Chain A
Amino acid sequence: MSPRRVRAGSDAARRRDRPLRITVDGEPVDGIAGQTVAGVLLAAGRLAWRTGRSGAPRGVFCGIGVCFDCLVTVGEERDVRACRRRVRDGDVVTTQSRNAPGPDRDPDRRGKPGAPGAEER
């Protein structure tokens, strides 16, 4: 009842899987080389990993880098589009939230490098 990867054995495109492992909020998650962060998360049964302004869960929507719903932190880098970033073995992924206790701003964004303009205009 959730997204999954087509099994290599039954994949008509006849692909070869090279397993890799990343961590998501400290938990190990298995994927295969070539996948995006979003693909790994979805295939591992995770449909949502970000919290929007209202606190509602968000995951992938557009899948091609336009909507910014799927943002994650990879290593030290916040605001990485999960649908556009290919994973590397051992990537440390942390989920992020735009939950703002105040009226306007996510406090843990302050003082962090981020994309200009996008959330600060």
Chain B
Amino acid sequence: MTDRHVVVVGAGPAGLAAAETALAAGARVTLIDAGDRPGGQYHRMLPEAYDAARPEVLHHGWRAFDRRRRRVLAHPRCSWWSDTSVWALERPDPERPGPPRVHVLRGPADAGGRRRTTLDPDALVLAVGAHDRVLPFPGWELPGVFTAGAAQALAKGERVVVGDRVVVAGTGPFLLPVAASLLEAGSRVLEVLEANSPGTVARGWSRRPWQLAAQAAKGGELAEYSALLLRHRVPYRTGRTVVEARGDGRVEEVVTARLRADWSVALGSERTLAVDAACVTHGFSPQLELPVAAGCALRTGTGGEFVEVDSDQATTVPGVYAAGEITGVAGAPAARAEGALAGWLAAGGDREAATLRPLRRSRDQGRAFAARLARAHPIGAAWPGWLRPETVVCRCEDADYASLCRAAEAPQTASARVAKLETRAGLGPCQARICGPTVAELNARLSGAPAESAVEGLPAPAPHRRPIAQPIRLGDLAAPPEPHHP
């Protein structure tokens, strides 16, 4: 018994593994997830009400996941807090650094009258995952254009298919499972388009090919998807992408074009394709607001910003650990290894335990895999060539590219903060989760100032600083909280 209380945020592959090893080390665990069932996005479960007799047909590694979730959720020292949103992390006294106070709301999504309470854990494991990054293109705001993740979540999570004639486009291996989910659910997938050139993809993947052997499970998964695409005669094309969506009130056709290695459009290569849905992904954005709120340092890696962790998955804040996609995008097996390490060590388990050796090894392999993934599927620098003046960049505020250009080119509005107020890009309900990286990149290019530079004595704007991490109704904020959980 370590008698420690570990709070784990996120019940996907990383969070569930963290809860399991923290319990094994003797800790009390509170496992929190916004969803009503565990699994996260990778093992997104069907609703209980569906009473599915064969849920495993929709998943990879279902049996191991199912065993783990039952074991964890039924454990006497585990409290499973489903339908729970962490809306703020409050840092304690700066004199005594440690895990923050966790503010949660419990109840149906965005409902009023949710139960508000707080937790003061001895250690905190953040395993909140990532969401699709989608670059803007003309017409991407039309209904019927979905993120690839949305198409998969709907197909896997409630058996809704987004369309009959679908194109899946963007970059990364995630295109394949999404196409597979659509095919399984009865869609016709017209094309799968990988924007990067065959050369970029091959060079990224084939550096030190012996490292790939460690990812045999992932390789098997990809081979399975490829076979499925072949069986359904779905063309997989590289160096091509969707550069425009068109339609009257909804997507009716997309324009695809051949891209050079830097993602500039090869003129004359455009083709139109009649579709009723387009699914797009250009990689993943880690959900960094909770790590930033906890005070964790970030690192800039090949694929963007991630939480900095040491070889024990510890962040720069004592007692706060991070695992899964927020430390680097490497897929579910790597997330599980990181989660298992983080949970055990957060619970005060022995750092030298023999069981940690294979976990550390597969974590390291996962990190190598993440670096390889980022190199094989980068975002080409010339992508803004797709944009037109009237192209929406910030979906929430309908801020278009022309307004961003105007703000960035006038000296008095060029700094990121002023440009934001001028254009409203990033001020909408999603709190810049969707357009943030795009707006920062465009503003830096257009104004010639490096992104996030400090101006006029103000600190550099911090893109993931969202003191209110999830919406909370004013009435719930004003109502007295329930007693807190030590």
Contacts and interface: CB of A to CB of B under 8 A. Distances in A.
Nearest to A4: B161
Contacts of A15: 46, 50-53, 159
A29 B160 CA distance: 15
A112 B154 CA distance: 31
A65 B109 contact: yes
Given A11-B159, A71-B429, A61 B145 contact: yes
Interface residues of A, number: 61
Contact of A39 (B54, B154, B427, B474): B154
A11 B53 CA distance: 10
A43 B160 contact: yes
A116 B141 contact: no
Interface of B: 34, 36, 41, 46-55, 57-58, 108-112, 131-132, 141, 143-147, 149-151, 153-155, 158-165, 184-186, 249-250, 276-277, 287, 395-398, 427-431, 433-434, 468, 471-475, 477
B473 A63 contact: no
Interface of A: 1-6, 10-18, 32-36, 38-39, 42-43, 47-48, 52-54, 56-69, 71, 76-77, 79-81, 83-86, 113-119, 121
Contacts of A77: 110-112, 473
Contact of B149 (A13, A57, A63, A116): A63
Contacts of B165: 1
Contacts, number: 202
Contacts of A76: 112
A102 to B, nearest CB: 14
A108 B145 CA distance: 28
B478 to A, nearest CB: 10
User: Per DSSP, are chain B's interface residues mostly helix, strand or loop, or mixed?
Assistant: loop
B128 to A, nearest CB: 11
Contact of A62 (B54, B150, B397): B150
B131 A85 contact: no
B18 to A, nearest CB: 21
B160 to A, nearest CB: 5
A80 B110 contact: yes
A114 B186 contact: no
A60 to B, nearest CB: 6
Contacts of A86: 36, 47, 108-109
Nearest to A35: B158
B332 to A, nearest CB: 16
A5 to B, nearest CB: 5
A53 B398 contact: yes
A36 B108 CA distance: 11
Contacts of B473: 77, 113-115
23 contacts: A3-B160, A3-B161, A6-B160, A15-B51, A15-B159, A32-B49, A35-B47, A47-B143, A48-B249, A53-B396, A54-B398, A60-B143, A60-B150, A62-B434, A65-B109, A66-B434, A69-B396, A80-B110, A84-B34, A85-B110, A115-B472, A117-B468, A118-B429
